Structures are given as C-alpha cells and as structure tokens.
Amino acid sequence: MRLLKLLTNLNRIPEIRLCRAATPQWKKLTACYIGFPVKLPFEIQLKTGSFRFVTLADVRTFWVVFFSDTYHVRDTDRVIVDAGANIGTFTLYALLNAPKSKVIAIEPAPDSCARLRKVVGDHGFASRCTIHQAALGNQDGATTMDLGQESQFRSTGRGTVSVPVVTLDSVVRDSGVDLLKMDIEGSEYGVLASPPRCLEHLQRLAMEYHPNGSLQEVIPTLERAGLKCISRRDDGYGYGIARFERG
C-alpha cells in the first residue's frame, strides 16, 4: 500500500521539491498530503513564522496554494484581493510572493477570520493586510452562515450565524487591483451578476466556480470589462478554476 501511494504520487515530485524548499517539516507535510497517517494538529515552520494545520482540509488547501501554483501570484503585484480568505493560506502566500503588495482579505466566518488574523500577525504582515470579516455580495447588508461544516466548505445563506455582507467596490474603492482570487462557495455568480465597477481596473481574476451556477453565464460580463478567459481547469461535477486576464 505504501509503495502504491508513492507510485501514484510520482507526478508530484516538482511540488514535493517546492515543499522541501519551503519548510524543514516537508516530510511530515508531504506524508500527510499524499495520505499517510499523520497526527493532527501539527505545525510547520516557514521563513517568516509557523503555520498550524488543524484538519486534513487545511493541509490540502495549503498544498494546492503553495506548491501547485493555482493562483499565479506575480512578484510585481501591488494590490491583491483574497475573497474567501478562509484561514489565511492564500493571503499568506500572496504576501510572501509579492513582497511589495498589500492584500485585502475578505472572510465571513468568525472562527476562520480569527485564524486568518493570527496567521497575518504571526508572520509580521499586519501592516500590509486589511481584513474584512464579512461575506462578499452584490450589495451591502447581512446574511447567515452554518459554522457546523469544515471551514473550507461553508456557504452563505444557511444556518443561523449572522454575518455582514460587503461589495467589492466598497472594500476596493477606486484602487486598481492586480489580482482578485475568488473562492466564495457559489456566491461568485451573484457578485458578478451586477458587475462591480472595480472590474474595469482589474488586471487578473482567478475564480473557483461551483455547480450552483454557470461559468458560461458570467464570461460575457467579464469580457465586457476587458477580461479574457486564459485557462480553465475542470475538476468535475461543476467545480473548477477559471483564470481571466486583461487583454
């Protein structure tokens, strides 16, 4: 069984090399990611501080963001928006890989937002990150969440925990945005149905899409704002990641 797991993960060797370069605890992190039994929670050390994994979903998210180049942060990026920041994995990745950037992180769940704030503070990035404990929507207001699910899979409009709703325009203001990463569990269709003004000044969008809507319906909206779909990764069952770039 161990040999089978190793053979099926040979294609991940480039990612494992990145993991090895990132942390002294690369063996433990790699073993947990590819399915060997590792006791949770555990921590790893990065060059700016530690990162704590509480669930297996934390490990998988961290790996995809840090070692699979899912969101393509550029070292020249100056303004990055992390919509659906969760526990701060992508926020931290962006701050590390775009050293002159400022990140606007948006996360509605109180417990996830607390972990996000701790990650940003522990790594010394508080002055470069603005955090909004809110859900992203097409108008300011309020909604609810069910906090019973794992943090990576929570969606709004369910449960009984009240959370505020903000719009992209209200948190970005008139600033140009180099990269908008959007992973908001199906709410992306509502956000883009009434196009935010800031799309006109957005350079790149990396959006996780979900089966409760159609990516094809929002592509014309993004194209009218000058954003062209340059890649699409279909993960099956209506899930995937689409990347858009100006021009």
Say yes or no: 41 and 109 in one domain: no
Quote the mean pLDDT of the chain. Answer: 90
Sequence-distant (≥ 6) Cβ neighbours of residue 122 within 8 angstroms: 49, 50
Q: Which amino acid is at 30?
A: T
Count of residues making up the chain? 247
Say yes or no: 118 and 53 in one domain: no
Query: In the Cβ-directed half-sphere of 124, how many Cα atoms lie within 13 Å?
Result: 7
Look at residue 145 in the predicted model and tell me its pLDDT.
77
Residues 205, 56: Cα–Cα separation, whole Å: 27
Question: Does the pLDDT value for residue 167 go beyond 90?
Answer: yes
Question: Does the pLDDT value for residue 7 go beyond 50?
Answer: no
Contact 243, 204 (CB under 8 A): yes
24-38, 52-66, 125-139, 145-159: range with lowest mean pLDDT: 145-159
* Total number of domains constituting the chain: 2
Say yes or no: 132 and 24 in one domain: no
Q: What is the mean pLDDT of residues 104-122?
A: 96
Name the band, by pLDDT with cuts 50, 70 and 90, for residue 3. very low
State which residues form the domain around 142.
72-246
Sign of the CA dihedral 168, 171, 174, 176?
negative
Residue of 81, 95, 115 whose CA lies nearest to 184:
81
Q: What is the mean pLDDT of residues 123-140?
A: 95
- The CATH number that applies at residue 190 is 3.40.50.150
For 132, 135, 236, the CA distances from 171, given in Å and listed in that order, are 8, 11, 32
| pLDDT tens digits, one per residue of 43-55 | 999 999 999 999 9
Q: Which helix (H) or strand (E) holds 234?
A: strand 227-236
Look at residue 147 in the predicted model and tell me its pLDDT.
73
Q: Bridge partners of 145?
A: 156, 161
Q: Bridge partners of 241?
A: 208, 233
Say yes or no: 112 and 222 in one domain: yes
Say yes or no: 31 and 98 in one domain: no
